[in-house]
């Protein structure tokens, strides 16, 4: 019987373990699987903290239901009926600019009426489908900032693209790679010659396909409804842990992966124990994986160390509802860097999921730091609270002191797909050819969201099964 060791008990490792076991059983293959996690608690950055009647998400707060992988996993493990989709408020998203909140336009009429983009900025955007806009430079790994300036203009970069990048990646558009972060947008420009032209052509195709009973994605990629569980997103990782049973071994830190004797690999642990395995699937962050693999292959470790991470501080404030005049009828808002605020944005969590706060109260979750402000993760609690309150007063006119405060710091929160990321992945793929049975998965490589992690777990499980 072959043995597989999965390292890392976040959503990537847990999903890989569950899928690999299921696929092996379905194929009639005998495979011994162990999952090693250095912490006693499983789930990685997925953690739903319940306190004083509030449910605070330590990390991600859900996934979009427009992609199948996570929904299929939920159905397979028997938690599909417990899914909790955000209400209609989540469609309304705002940008803070020029001293006020502007709702993001959802169509041409609302875009023309919006004061978020000035008329010169709108005219510049109107040029996007014309031949006057330069095409993507051949063979260049373009930054998101360069793409935004070239395709849409500086104002759209500052007020639309940059806040989106900070909201998704906590990243800096001046360093992030377009093709690695948003491959669909790069593909649309190559295929249609422009984004507006792509939207028009895809809208026509969508209309034809819907008439034929098919469903297609929007121009910018799939949309969907933000989905979680009433208990919080940790319900998913907890369900996976329960289903995996004694496969999961918490409190075991891996210190090194080496060539084995009777099997392909030897996995050394901090307690002095060693295990041999035919397959090793590393589902840890890139920086942690680099340390484990340094003795096996310095080239792989070197490439992994080149993947940077941004820091992030998450701040949850609870208020009595009647102390806030703002209607809170939306997802929340993002803040362009040029506005000079301390926070990247604030989500109105209890407006999206009504059970996130006790009756008569609301929960606001703000983000601070990211690649543009890495030093903020070191601020004191008092300084963090002061800065967040200043921003909430300036943006939402909230003067009341919060009755509930929780602060979560993530020194290495989100991998950054900076320029050159695609070449780094290609180098890893090439180097891994010398190590059959060694597989890397997780959000360090081809997508940072929960859906991306489950999709990567599916690929890792398929690859592992093919080697059994």
Q: What is the pLDDT, as a whole number, of residue 338?
A: 93
Yes or no: say if 385 and 379 are a contact pair by the CB < 8 Å rule. no
Q: What is the pLDDT, as a whole number, of residue 195?
A: 85
Q: Kindly state the average pLDDT of the residues 20-48.
A: 97
Measured CA to CA, the distance from residue 69 to residue 264 in angstroms comes to: 31
Pick the CATH number of 309-415 from 3.40.50.620, 3.90.660.20, 3.40.980.10, 3.40.50.2300: 3.90.660.20
Q: What is the pLDDT, as a whole number, of residue 7?
A: 98
CA-closest candidate to residue 185, choices 222, 130, 225: 222
Yes or no: say if 313 and 409 are a contact pair by the CB < 8 Å rule. yes
Q: What is the pLDDT, as a whole number, of residue 221?
A: 41
Yes or no: say if 443 and 453 are a contact pair by the CB < 8 Å rule. yes
Measured CA to CA, the distance from residue 65 to residue 74 in angstroms comes to: 11
Provide the CATH topology of domain 117-211: protoporphyrinogen ix oxidase, domain 3 (1.10.3110)
Tens-digit pLDDT profile for residues 299-349: 999 999 999 999 999 999 999 999 999 999 999 999 999 999 999 999 999
The residue ranges of every structural domain in the chain are 2-46+233-307+419-466, 117-211, 309-415
Q: Would the pLDDT of 215 be above 60?
A: no
Q: Would the pLDDT of 222 be above 60?
A: no
Q: Would the pLDDT of 214 be above 60?
A: no
Q: Kindly state the average pLDDT of the residues 441-458.
A: 97
Query: What DSSP line would sit under 13-53, residue for residue?
Result: HHHHHHHHHHHHHHTT--EEEEEEESSSS-BTT--EEEETT
Please name the residues in contact with 82: beta carbons below 8 A apart, sequence gap of 6 or more: 229, 230, 231, 235
- Quote helix, strand, coil % in the chain, to nearest 5: 40, 25, 35
Tokens of 246: 């004694």
Measured CA to CA, the distance from residue 33 to residue 465 in angstroms comes to: 12
Q: What is the pLDDT, as a whole number, of residue 199?
A: 78
Q: Kindly state the average pLDDT of the residues 96-113.
A: 89
Tens-digit pLDDT profile for residues 403-430: 999 999 999 999 999 999 999 999 999 9
Helix (H, G, I), strand (E, B) or coil at 403: coil
Helix residue ranges per DSSP H, 137-194:
144-151, 154-156, 162-169, 178-181, 183-192
For 178-198, letters b (16+ CB in 10 Å) and e give bbbbbbebbebbeebebbbbb
Tokens of 269: 């642990």
Mean pLDDT of the chain, nearest integer: 93
CA-closest candidate to residue 407, choices 316, 279, 344: 316
Helix residue ranges per DSSP H, 265-400:
286-293, 298-305, 349-352, 381-396
Helix (H, G, I), strand (E, B) or coil at 94: strand
**pTM confidence score:** 0.93
Q: Kindly state the average pLDDT of the residues 358-383.
A: 97
Helix residue ranges per DSSP H, 170-233:
178-181, 183-192, 195-211
Range from 84-98, 208-222, 257-271 carrying the lowest mean pLDDT = 208-222
- Per-residue pLDDT band for 205 (boundaries 50, 70, 90) equals confident
Q: What is the pLDDT, as a whole number, of residue 209?
A: 64
Tens-digit pLDDT profile for residues 117-149: 999 999 999 999 888 888 888 889 999 999 999
Instruction: List the CATH code of the domain at 2-46+233-307+419-466.
Output: 3.50.50.60
């Amino acid at each position: 019987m072959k043995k597989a060791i999965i390292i890392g008990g976040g959503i990537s490792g847990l999903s890989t373990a569950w899928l690999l076991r299921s696929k092996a059983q379905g194929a009639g293959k005998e495979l011994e699987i162990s999952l090693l996690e250095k912490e006693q608690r499983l789930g990685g950055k997925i953690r739903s903290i319940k306190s004083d009647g509030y449910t605070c998400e330590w990390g991600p707060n859900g996934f979009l239901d427009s992609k199948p992988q996570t929904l299929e996993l939920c159905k397979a493990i028997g938690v599909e009926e417990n899914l909790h989709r955000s209400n209609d408020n989540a469609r309304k998203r705002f940008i803070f600019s020029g001293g006020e909140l502007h709702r993001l336009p959802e169509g041409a009429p609302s875009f023309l009426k919006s004061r978020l983009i000035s008329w010169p900025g709108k005219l510049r955007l109107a040029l996007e489908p014309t031949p006057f806009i330069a095409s993507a430079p051949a063979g260049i790994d373009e930054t998101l900032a360069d793409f935004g300036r070239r395709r849409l203009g500086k104002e759209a970069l500052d007020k639309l693209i940059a806040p989106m990048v900070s909201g998704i990646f906590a990243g800096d558009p001046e360093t992030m790679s377009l093709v690695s972060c948003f491959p669909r947008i790069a593909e649309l420009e190559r295929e249609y010659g422009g984004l507006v032209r792509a939207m028009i052509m895809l809208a026509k195709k969508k209309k034809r396909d819907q008439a034929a009973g098919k469903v297609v994605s929007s121009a910018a990629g799939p949309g969907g409804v933000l989905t979680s569980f009433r208990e919080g997103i940790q319900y998913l990782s907890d369900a996976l842990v329960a289903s995996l049973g004694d496969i999961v071994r918490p409190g075991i830190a891996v210190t090194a992966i080496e060539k084995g004797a009777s099997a392909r690999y030897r996995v050394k642990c901090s307690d002095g124990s060693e295990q041999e395995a035919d397959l090793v699937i590393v589902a840890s962050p890139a920086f942690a994986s680099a340390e484990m693999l340094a003795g096996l292959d310095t080239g792989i470790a070197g490439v992994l160390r080149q993947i940077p991470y941004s820091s992030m501080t998450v701040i949850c404030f609870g208020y009595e509802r009647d102390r806030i005049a703002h209607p809170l009828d939306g997802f929340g808002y993002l803040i362009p860097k040029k506005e000079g605020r301390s926070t990247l944005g604030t989500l109105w969590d209890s407006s999206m999921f009504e059970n996130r706060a006790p009756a008569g109260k609301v929960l606001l979750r703000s983000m601070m730091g990211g690649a543009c402000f890495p030093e903020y993760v070191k601020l004191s609690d008092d300084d963090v609270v002061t800065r967040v309150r200043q921003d909430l007063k300036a943006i939402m006119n909230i003067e009341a002191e919060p009755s509930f405060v929780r602060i979560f710091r993530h020194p290495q929160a989100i991998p950054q797909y900076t320029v050159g990321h695609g070449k780094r992945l290609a180098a890893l793929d090439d180097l891994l050819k010398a190590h059959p049975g060694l597989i890397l998965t997780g959000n360090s490589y081809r997508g940072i969201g929960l859906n991306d992690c489950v999709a990567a777990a599916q690929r890792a499980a398929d690859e592992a099964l093919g080697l059994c």
